Amino acid sequence: MIEAVVFDLDGVLVDSEHVWDAARKELAAERGRPWPDQASRDMMGMSSLEWSRYMHDVVGLPERPEEISAKVVRRLEEIYRRELPLIEGAAEAVERLAERWPLGLASSSNRELIDLVLELSSLARYFRATVSSEEVPRGKPAPDVYLEAARRLGVAPARCVAIEDSENGIRSAKAARTRVLAIPNPRYPPAEEALALANEVLTSIQELTPETIERVG
């Protein structure tokens, strides 16, 4: 029996993975650092501490990781305030599921960006618990952020359904022993072996209904 639903944020509710990617690439380019081929995929799902350290150690930015994180987040905040890239149908899906289950959010985004997105989208009132991977020891694909979301909701992870789009996100939710509904990000599609871990794969968030949740439960 399903007792809660936990959403990812980036790629599920907001079409932002490419925005993150562009902001990081711009910062690297301004410092004359080439962008490694695998950098974008490597950083998907990492916590802010992890990806900013990656940009310092691997990409070669001279600033301290916390300074890198702050600069990228400021760029995201400016973009979101100009025009929030909310995915079509996301608000309606959240509202539909909130009528039946308590909702959580387990995101790799920084806390200030989570709060800003939920404020600008007017969706904050639907979420009983929100967790940033900054607030747990390890980012995705480790299970920490989903385990903490379940703990804050007061629900066993096995009685939660996670809504995810990325390879690291799917692996994180599965490692937490939640059921997983995958909505693959078309710009950064998960590998087939990661998709195979999901209980069901949807083509868009518009397909996310109470009936879908019950089916995987």
Task: Confirm if 205 and 181 have CB atoms less than 8 A apart.
Answer: no
The letter for the amino acid at 164 is E
Backbone angles phi, psi at 127, to 5 degrees: -105, 120
- Distance from the Cα of residue 203 to its chain's centroid: 17
| 15 has catalytic annotation | no
- Distance from the Cα of residue 159 to its chain's centroid: 20
Q: What angle do CA 19, 22, 25 make, to 5 degrees?
A: 150
78 is written with which tokens? 């400016």
Of the residues 8, 15, 144, 165, which is catalytic? 8
**In whole angstroms, what is the distance from residue 10 CA to residue 106 CA?**
10
The closest alpha carbon to 66, from 42, 49, 87, 84, belongs to 49
| 10 has catalytic annotation | yes
Of the residues 10, 15, 21, 165, which is catalytic? 10
| CA Rg value for the chain | 16
Sheet with 200-201: strands ordered across:
127-132, 103-107, 4-7, 160-164, 179-182, 200-201
Of how many residues is the chain composed?
Answer: 217
- Catalytic residues, by residue number, are 8, 10
